[in-house]
Amino acid sequence: MSIDKIVCVGKNYLDHAKELGEAIPEKPVLFLKPSSVLKQASSWDEHIYLDFPSEDNAVQPECEIVLRIACDGYKMTHEEASNAISDITLGLDMTLRARQSELKKQGHPWTTAKVFKNAAVLGPWISYHQFNHYLNTEFQLLINGTLKQCAKGADMMMWPEDLLVYISHFFPLKSGDIIYTGTPAGVTSISKGTTAELHWDHYSYSVTWE
């Protein structure tokens, strides 16, 4: 299935919005990533090796539930949004936090803090219908063996179907589009040689930055 775009959602978990020390928005923040920055594991239990983005001193992986949709939609109804979700997985929305902070201070867009090689990491897809209790299943991110992020999708301020309705109000979504739904609290910086483990029910994979 081809990918037209990757839509990312920011500040969709209250605890993460608070830890950023910024104003909590009434609606989630939206931004885009091109498919060229995507790196996906080919199988569960795979260990991925990626180049470390050394141009920033605050490289931060953000663990998120990720959706894939199987139909086009514009100004979707809630029912259309619910029927659009075909697959889910866990991913990492990579952020160059120091660059992002500086760009925000200057009042500039922070695209280059979110868009760089391997800035969107994905696990293999799981059929939505095979894991329909996913919102109530805890997911975890471990950094070098230490638990850093732990949450359930049910903790989101705006749930997946509502996100699709919200996003598609602004622009059309295409079949194959990928939606990163936001990250919970516990985001931390990594360094070269760091290993991250992503766990969700019996699904897991890991990433090392070299």
Give the 3-state secondary structure of 76-105. Answer: CCHHHHHHHEEEEEEEEEEEEHHHHHHHHH
DSSP, collapsed to helix, strand or coil, labels residue 153 as helix
Report pLDDT for 69.
98
pLDDT tens-place string over residues 55-106: 888 999 999 999 999 999 999 999 999 999 999 999 999 999 999 999 999 9
pLDDT tens-place string over residues 134-182: 999 999 999 999 999 999 999 999 999 999 999 999 999 999 999 999 9
pLDDT at residue 15 is higher than 90: no
Q: Given CA atoms 158, 176, 151, 102 in this order, what sign does their dihedral have?
A: negative
DSSP, collapsed to helix, strand or coil, labels residue 22 as coil
- Each domain of the chain, given as residue ranges in start order, spans 6-209
DSSP 140: E
Report pLDDT for 32.
98
Q: Measure Cα distances from 194 to 48, 144, 206 in Å.
A: 12, 6, 11
Contact in structure between 84 and 164 (CB atoms under 8 Å): yes
Q: Which residues contact 3 (CB under 8 A, 6 or more apart)?
A: 35, 38, 176, 177, 178
Report pLDDT for 80.
98
pLDDT at residue 113 is higher than 90: yes
Name which residue leads in pLDDT, 157 or 21.
Answer: 157
pLDDT at residue 16 is higher than 90: no
pLDDT at residue 126 is higher than 80: yes
pLDDT at residue 23 is higher than 80: no
**Residue 28 burial by Cβ neighbours in a 10 Å radius (0-12, 13-18, 19+):** buried
C-beta atoms surrounding 51 within 10 Å: 10
What's the rounded Cα separation, in Å, for the pair 84 and 59? 33
| CATH tag, 6-209 | 3.90.850.10
What's the rounded Cα separation, in Å, for the pair 110 and 107? 9
What's the rounded Cα separation, in Å, for the pair 101 and 107? 10
**DSSP E strand stretches across the chain:** 6-10, 29-33, 38-40, 47-50, 59-69, 85-96, 120-122, 126-127, 139-143, 146-151, 178-180, 195-200, 203-209
C-beta atoms surrounding 127 within 10 Å: 10
pLDDT at residue 25 is higher than 90: no
Does the global pTM surpass 0.85?
yes
